[in-house]
Structure 1
Amino acid sequence: MSIKTLPWEGGCRCGQVRIKVSAPPLLTMACHCTGCQRMTASAYSLSVAVPSEGFAVTKGDPVIGGLHGATRHYFCPHCMSWMFTRPEGMDWFVNVRATMLDDAGRFTPFIETWTSEKLPWAITPAIHSYETVPAMEDYEGLLQEYSEWAAKPEA
């Protein structure tokens, strides 16, 4: 996952909403919670956390979907693809659904969360696993470790 290829672009299934990532990711993850399972119709959701200033919607106007709560999940208004999330109280980053990026294959999950709710057969190559989410005091170390891991040349 070379950051040398920035910016990254992506979009929804129908192409009416397009996004751009222009800053290196902070972390990649797979979330096994039942909410993500239901919103993706899959075993887990894949996310790339990017700094807010390095994220832009370049075409279209996504709408809020999911639970419509304080944490906002954004979808294409036409095809209803779940594109990104702005977590409540964490305005400094955006969780982009990795599969919305044009070259999604480069994003390996570094951590996996909510393994307490995972489907028994769901396996990821994540380096760190958490029954729920990492403790807040663990994030600084995880971000540093991810930065070093992501900077390694691709195999």
Structure 2
Amino acid sequence: MPSLNLPAEGGCRCGRVRLRVTAPPLLTMACHCTGCQRMAASAYSLSAAIPSEAFVVTEGEPVIGGLHGASHHYFCPHCMSWMFTRPEGLDWFVNLRPTMLDDPGWFTPFVETWTSERLPFAATPAVHSYAALPAMEEYGALMAEFAQALAKEAFAAGGSAG
């Protein structure tokens, strides 16, 4: 999995809302739930959990859309691109739609969720798959394993004295 070049900049389709990421993701995911299918108008949604302190909107003001429920889904008010989500009670990260970044080529989902609702053709290369969501106590190990994979990739990209 290629690594995200930091700082990373991005924005919505029309460019009126721009953002910056200054730290690597804690975890990358694909969600197959029917809600994400409908909001993304796709087979699944992609997200990168970015530490909140490493995420900033630099231009424009996104608006809340989607279900207007406990988790807030943020969209560009002009082009309506679904940009990121702030899950209720989990203020320490932001679920960024990685395709909002100017260079999303680094992204690969590490975890896929709601495979019980997956469309038959929708395959991902995720390392871990869950019929619904992982148990809360599993996220620590998933993030640690993901961080190890990122570190291993960074080492390989830097070469080794062999």
Under a length normalisation based on structure 2, what TM-score does the superposition of the two structures give? 0.92
Alpha-carbon distance in structure 1 between the residues aligned to 2:102 and 2:148: 24
Q: Rg larger in 1 or in 2?
A: 2
Q: Displacement of 1:14 after TM fit?
A: 0.2
Alpha-carbon distance in structure 1 between the residues aligned to 2:87 and 2:45: 15
Q: Displacement of 1:105 after TM fit?
A: 1.4
Under a length normalisation based on structure 1, what TM-score does the superposition of the two structures give? 0.96
Q: Structure 2 regions of 5+ residues with no counterpart?
A: 158-162
Q: Which amino acid in 1 is paired with 2:147?
A: S
Q: Displacement of 1:142 after TM fit?
A: 0.4
Alpha-carbon distance in structure 2 between the residues aligned to 1:100 and 1:78: 15
State the identity %: 73
Q: Which amino acid in 2 is paired with 1:2?
A: S
Cα root mean square deviation, aligned: 1.1
Deviations along 1:107-152, one digit per CA (max 9) or x if unpaired, are 1000000000110110000000000010111111000000011222
Mapping 1:5-154, distance limit 5 Å: 5-153=5-153
Q: Structure 1 regions of 5+ residues with no counterpart?
A: none
Q: Which amino acid in 1 is paired with 2:3?
A: S
Q: Which amino acid in 1 is paired with 2:61?
A: D
Q: Secondary structure at the match of 2:13?
A: coil
Q: Displacement of 1:24 after TM fit?
A: 1.5
Q: Secondary structure at the match of 1:141?
A: helix
Deviating runs (4+, > 4 A) in structure 1?
Answer: none
Q: Which residue of 2 aligns with 1:2?
A: 3
Q: Which amino acid in 2 is paired with 1:72?
A: H
Q: Which amino acid in 1 is paired with 2:67?
A: L
